[in-house]
Amino acid sequence: MIIPGRTAQEVIRVASLVPDEKSATIIVSESQVRVRLAGIDIISRLIEANFPAYEKIIPKESVFDLTVSCSELLTALKTSRIFSAVGSSNIRLTIKDSAVSMSSMSTERGQSKTQISAEIIKHGEDDELVVAYNARYLSDAIASIEDDKVVLFIAGAKKPTIVRNPQDANYQHLVMPVDIKE
C-alpha cells in the first residue's frame, strides 16, 4: 500500500492536534485508504504503483562500523554545519588509525575539525576512509534514534550508509554520501 505524502502529512498533523488519542482506525480498500482519528476521517486514493525495491540499495557489507554517542555526534554535526560552504551542509568524516574526525570548510566562514570518540570495527584492508555527507540528512537520521548510542555501517565513500539503533535491528535509516570536490 502506497499513500500520497500529503495524506501522510495530514494524518500526522491531525494526530498532533489530539495528543491524548492513542489509537486510529485504518480501513484499506482496493483503491482508497481511510484513517479515522479522534472522530475525524481522512480519505485518500492509494497510489497505484509497486513500492520501489529499496532492498537492492541497502548494503550487505560494510567497510567500517562505528558506534558513537548520539548527543556527541549531533553536537559535532551542528558545529561542523556552521562552517560548511554557504548553501551547503556538507561535512567530511575521516576514519583513520582507530579515530574519527569530522571537518567542514568554507572560504566565507573558515573551517572546523572535531574529534569524535567511537568504537570502530574494521572490515577489510583499508586503514582509512573519507566519506562526506549532507549534515542535515545525517542529523535527521541520528536524531530519530531513541537511544544513547547509534551505529553507522559505512559501506564506502560512494555507497549508502546505514544508521541503526543498536537496541532495535528492525529500525534503519539509509543516508547517501555526497561528492565533495577537493
Q: What is the pLDDT of residues 34-83, one digit of tens each?
A: 999 988 999 999 999 888 888 888 999 999 999 999 999 999 999 888 88
> What cell was used for 138?
545525517
What pLDDT score was predicted for residue 55? 86
Superfamily of domain 59-175: DNA Polymerase III, subunit A, domain 2 (3.10.150.10)
> What cell was used for 161?
550508509
Mean pLDDT score of the chain: 90
Task: Evaluate if residue 142 carries a pLDDT over 80.
Answer: yes
Residues in the chain: 182
What are the boundaries of each domain within the chain? 5-45, 59-175
How large is the average pLDDT for residues 129-136?
Answer: 93
What pLDDT score was predicted for residue 86? 72
Dihedral Cα 121, 145, 112, 90, nearest 10 deg: 100
Task: Evaluate if residue 182 carries a pLDDT over 70.
Answer: no
Task: Evaluate if residue 171 carries a pLDDT over 70.
Answer: yes
- Of 87 and 115, the one with more pLDDT: 115
Q: Dump pLDDT digits (tens) for 121-131.
A: 888 777 889 99
> Which residue in this structure is represented by grid cell 481511510?
34
Give the sheet arrangement for strand 64-69, strand by strand. 118-122, 64-69, 149-154, 161-165, 168-175
Task: Evaluate if residue 158 carries a pLDDT over 80.
Answer: yes
What pLDDT score was predicted for residue 167? 92
How large is the average pLDDT for residues 19-43?
Answer: 91
Measured CA to CA, the distance from residue 133 to residue 139 in angstroms comes to 10
Measured CA to CA, the distance from residue 126 to residue 97 in angstroms comes to 10
CA dihedral sign, ordered 5, 7, 12, 17:
positive
Q: For 77, phi and psi rounded to 5 degrees?
A: -65, -40
Burial 53-79 (b: 16+ CB within 10 A, else e): eeeeeeeeebbbbbebebebbbebbeb
The pTM assigned to this predicted structure is: 0.73
